[in-house]
């Protein structure tokens, strides 16, 4: 028995496991880096393991060479991981593009249990429906259930001219959960989103299904991510329930915004992590700024991620977005931060 396995057996408590899951579709900006830092701290403060998973299912948007660049920049910042595409691990592979068989198996389980059904509607048809009030921004209009009750004959007829996507049959009633940053939350998925897509018509699994399958397979217990994904949580909990999988604890950290309150962009001076590195910024100064934006250190403190582990708690994080002043980014490059 390994030391780690012996420790788990002695405490009768499963080892905590966190993760960060970047998409290699563009460089890491400071908001991404802050989320990575906070997810790493949440796992390490619990004495847990940490995994890095590359979410590269959106093949047309994946940029060649971006994955190794992201991994290199995270290491430059001072983060490490126990499992990942470059170091391997017991739950690999750690690229979603290499895990398609697992998503297909999960979809088949949902089909067999009657939790999903084929949908032949286009986005334009859904948007044009008079019954489709606007839902969360990531999904557009609420799906009105057009294909939910099609007969077998109607499905066969429509399948002759259009390949279907697959939608999860959302049950009635609210979904409640306790968020590690925002506290108790409740969402009525059927009322706000409707039946949601778990596999696209081209066969590519949707984010909601892939992330549930991966986090369960990798035994992730702590999911720390940006609060732009807070609306996805209830949907994912429904999938965990339908697949009889144990869900992790969720914590959604407020995003980093510009001084105008809008999401970070070039007009805010929001350089990528790589641009800061190439411009001469020191990694401990960058980490210090990220810690300051998270309420963990006072302004001007330089530190490494390992300096922040002791005493870290999600309860210390502010619930409001963190405003980044362009002058603070400039100071990083001038060596003044």
pLDDT for residue 133 is more than 90: no
C-alpha angle 62/289/53, rounded to 5°?
30
Under the banding of pLDDT at 50, 70 and 90, the label for residue 4 is very low
pLDDT above 90 (res 325): no
Q: Is the peptide bond before 115 cis (omega within 30 degrees of 0)?
A: no
**Structural domains of the chain sorted by starting position, each given as residue range(s) with its CATH number in brackets:** 14-98+254-334 (3.40.50.620), 100-207 (3.90.800.10)
Banded pLDDT at 263 (limits 50, 70, 90)? confident
pLDDT bucket at 329, cuts 50 / 70 / 90: confident
Q: Is 115 a catalytic residue?
A: no
Structure-token pair, residue 86: 């470059």
Q: Residues 64, 149, 266, 298: which is the catalytic one?
A: 266
| Predicted pLDDT of residue 334 | 82
Name which of 5-9, 31-35, 121-125, 128-132 the model is least confident about: 5-9
Cα 90–92–96 angle (5° rounding)?
155
84: β partners: 88
Assign 278 a pLDDT band (cuts: 50, 70, 90). Answer: very high
On the question of pLDDT at 79 being above 50, the answer is: yes
């Amino acid at each position: 028995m390994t030391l780690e396995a012996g420790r788990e057996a002695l405490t009768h408590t499963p080892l905590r496991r966190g993760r960060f899951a970047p998409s290699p579709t563009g460089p890491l900006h400071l908001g991404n880096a802050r989320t990575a830092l906070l997810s790493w701290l949440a796992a390490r403060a619990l004495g847990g393991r940490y995994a890095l998973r590359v979410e590269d299912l959106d093949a047309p948007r994946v940029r060649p060479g971006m994955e190794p660049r992201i991994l290199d920049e995270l290491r430059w910042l001072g983060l490490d991981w126990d499992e990942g595409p470059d170091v391997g691990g017991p739950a690999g592979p750690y690229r979603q593009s290499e895990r398609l068989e697992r998503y297909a198996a999960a979809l088949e389980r949902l089909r067999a249990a009657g939790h999903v059904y084929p949908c032949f509607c286009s986005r334009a048809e859904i948007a044009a429906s008079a019954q489709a009030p606007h839902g969360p921004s990531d999904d557009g209009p609420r799906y009105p259930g057009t294909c939910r009750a099609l007969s077998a004959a109607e499905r066969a007829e429509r399948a002759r001219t259009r390949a279907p996507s697959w939608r999860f049959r959302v049950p009635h009633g609210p979904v409640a959960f306790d968020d590690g940053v925002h506290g108790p939350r409740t969402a009525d998925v059927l009322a706000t989103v409707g039946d949601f897509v778990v596999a696209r018509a081209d066969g590519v699994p949707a984010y909601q299904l892939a992330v549930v399958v991966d986090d369960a397979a990798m035994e992730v217990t702590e999911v720390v991510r940006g609060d732009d994904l807070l609306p996805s949580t209830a949907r994912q909990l429904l999938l965990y329930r339908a697949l009889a999988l144990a869900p992790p604890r969720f914590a959604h950290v407020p995003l980093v915004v510009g001084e105008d309150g809008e999401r970070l962009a070039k007009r805010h001076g929001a350089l990528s992590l790589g641009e800061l590195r190439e411009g001469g910024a020191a990694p401990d100064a960058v980490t210090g700024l990220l810690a300051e934006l998270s309420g963990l250190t006072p302004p001007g403190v330089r530190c490494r991620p390992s300096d922040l582990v002791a005493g870290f708690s999600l309860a210390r994080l502010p619930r409001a977005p963190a405003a980044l002043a362009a002058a603070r980014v400039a100071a990083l490059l001038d060596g003044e931060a």
